[in-house]
Amino acid sequence: MANIDWSKLTFSYTKTNTILTTTFKDGKWSPVESHTDDYMKVSTFCGAFHYAIECFEGLKAFRGKDGRIRLFRPEENAKRLQRSAKFLGIEAPSVEMFVDMCKQVVKENIDFLPPYEVTGASMYIRPTLIGSNPQLGVQSSKEATFLMLCAPVGAYVGGALDAVDVVIARNYDRAAPNGSGSYKVGGNYACSLRSLNIAHEQGYKAVLYLDPATKTMIDEFNSSNFFAIKGNKYITPKSDSILPSITNMSLETVAAHLGMEVERRPVPVEELSTFEEVGECGTAVVITPVHKLVDKPFLESDEETVYTYGDGTCGPKSLKLYQYITGIQKGEIEDPFGWVKVIG
């Protein structure tokens, strides 16, 4: 096992043993290659550099209580990557190739898979697809290179289940109406950086965006979906500019399984005052509870409306959902949905 202080892991880059690559060219994928170097040779004229012809995924591998290694719903990530690639007009790997490369990268970097005992730690897998042929005109790339990367990570924001303060950015958008918001493309994240940097300077951990068309409905955070608890209801926004989160989809299923009523619908900003619990959800965070949510007329303003949820700890229903999902991921409880893929 790698010489790492697992208890101090953050969500950041760590050099591992290998990365995997394959390139689609002349109608077929090349054999998968394993590289010990993180750097790759690619044309400086490639579409990824100039026109953001790039999409990616994020999923995790876990070491279970029984010592076995589990992937969480990799087929869903493969399908979402295919959907993003179709939007960009580039070739994507098959579901089978995607899952096989996930397994291979975990096995080749097994020394970097955190021990079961470390709370919130896992191996983060980052499948990435780029337009790789040289081009100058604005058009979809004819060639695509698929990379399978991984790194050991801890909690994305603070510690596992630490409640955070967030802010609404009314004068910024992460995506345009009828644009790329529902696809996992790099450009969406680039669009969030300006507002996220301002929010960080103000002491907030994340930015919550409103729907870009009317600015009246909750959309999502800069890197994760929004959910709320009201009574026995699990509520999450329905919007064409939101990335369909696999974690959120899983939480909806678990909530219904545990007897909660699930509502995926437009969520007006005015409804924020009625929620008992609010949180971020996604692969990187699983669940990050929100303690204070600040709404400003514009991000740089001193004028604000503050919504507070709980006492700074994770709310009881959010905690129950978190424990159920992570219990499945680590093999602590039965997986009634067939979500995990045991690979060793």
Active site residues: 184
DSSP letter for 46, please: B
CA-to-CA separations, 179 to 182, 194, 212, 268, in angstroms, rounded: 8, 19, 10, 21
- 237 neighbors 217 (Cβ within 8 angstroms): yes
Sequence-distant (≥ 6) Cβ neighbours of residue 77 within 8 angstroms: 57, 58, 59, 98, 127, 246
CA-to-CA separations, 250 to 99, 121, 199, 255, 302, in angstroms, rounded: 19, 19, 29, 9, 38
CA-to-CA separations, 203 to 157, 198, 207, 303, in angstroms, rounded: 13, 9, 11, 16
- Dihedrals phi, psi of 248, to nearest 5 degrees: -65, -45
b/e sequence 223-244, b meaning 16+ C-beta within 10 Å: bbbbbbbbeeebbbbebebbbe
> What is the helix (H) or strand (E) element at residue 123, kind and residue range?
strand 122-131
